[in-house]
Amino acid sequence: MALFGKDEAKKELGLLTPEDIRRLPRHVGIIMDGNGRWAVRRGMPRSFGHKAGVEALRAIIRRSSDLGIEALTIYAFSTENWSRSVEEVSALMGLLLEYFTKELDELHREHVCIRIIGDISGMPKGLERQQAALYAAMDRTRENTGLKLNIALNYGSQQEIVRAAQNLARRAAAGELAPEQITREMFAGELYTAGLPDVDFLIRTSGELRLSNFLLYQCAYAEFYKTDILWPDFDRNAYDEALLTYTKRERRFGGVK
């Protein structure tokens, strides 16, 4: 299944009007939740749900690109997910390698710029092929000017914030800057998402109401959207419906309008 169908018109409106498209978020974050439950309800192993979740992801990446959304950040694997069963983690890592092996050429042709946010170097031994595929994807697409696709892998937002503070502390200790010179922009520049706008719209599937250590700093003024749809069933229409709710919101950023 191709990510970008060549026989379909770019920026097909679907549920969105031209005015809606002008009001779309620059940066969308998605917590892709519910793969395991989706599989269990069908009497299948959890790995079956993760495979179906990859198919759903293809459609959302394509739709984001077609709509001209600047950045899409997806939560693929947290620092806490290593506590899952060996079988489930192995299946997830296998899908990761398969995804980049099969899709990288097309993502590159469509000018998608891939960034892995998280501690790639801290992945356990035995995942060298996955690490190499991740670095290769980033290197090959680094200069692309289309959708910025950020994949949070071995990622935890609290650790990301600590890492940023440590980097600035080292610079202060070396005499490069004084603590009072540290600005919000300087701190943001030490995050994995440096150079990207903050998250405008955060989607979480499967009905859960928590951030799960995802982009805590970047979501300071994000609009939140929760749906009971499990991730493998979150298709283009569901995405459009979510985006449509964003276009109707009035963002105040702490002020009064």
* Catalytic residue status for 81: yes
Contacts of 55 (CB under 8 A, 6+ apart): 1, 232
Mean pLDDT of 143-167: 97
Q: What is the pLDDT of residues 84-140, one digit of tens each?
A: 999 999 999 999 889 888 999 999 999 999 999 999 999 999 999 999 999 999 999
CA-closest candidate to residue 5, choices 61, 43, 69: 61
* Catalytic residue status for 237: no
Catalytic member of 7, 20, 35, 81: 81
pLDDT at 255 > cutoff 80: no
Residues 128, 131: Cα–Cα separation, whole Å: 5
Residues 112, 219: Cα–Cα separation, whole Å: 23
Q: What is the pLDDT of residues 164-185, one digit of tens each?
A: 999 999 999 999 999 999 999 9
Residue owning tokens 């919000």: 184
Distance of CA 153 to the CA centre of its chain: 9
pLDDT at 46 > cutoff 70: yes
Residues above pLDDT 70, as percent of the chain? 95
Three-class secondary structure assignment of the chain? CCCCCCCCCCCCCCCCCHHHHHCCCCEEEEECCCHHHHHHCCCCCHHHHHHHHHHHHHHHHHHHHHHCCCEEEEEEEECCHHHCCHHHHHHHHHHHHHHHHHHHHHHHHCCCEEEEECCHHHCCCCCHHHHHHHHHHHHHHCCCCCCEEEEEEEECHHHHHHHHHHHHHHHHHCCCCCHHHCCHHHHHCCCCCCCCCCCCEEEECCCCCCCCCCCCCCCCCCEEEECCCCHHHCCHHHHHHHHHHHHCCCCCCCCCC
> What's residue 176's pLDDT?
96
pLDDT averaged over every residue in the chain: 93
> What's residue 17's pLDDT?
93
pLDDT at 150 > cutoff 50: yes
Residue 6 amino acid letter: K
Domains and CATH numbers, the chain: 20-247 (3.40.1180.10)
Catalytic member of 20, 33, 66, 200: 33
Mean pLDDT of 227-238: 97
pLDDT at 5 > cutoff 90: no
Residues 4, 62: Cα–Cα separation, whole Å: 6
203 with 27: CB under 8 angstroms? no
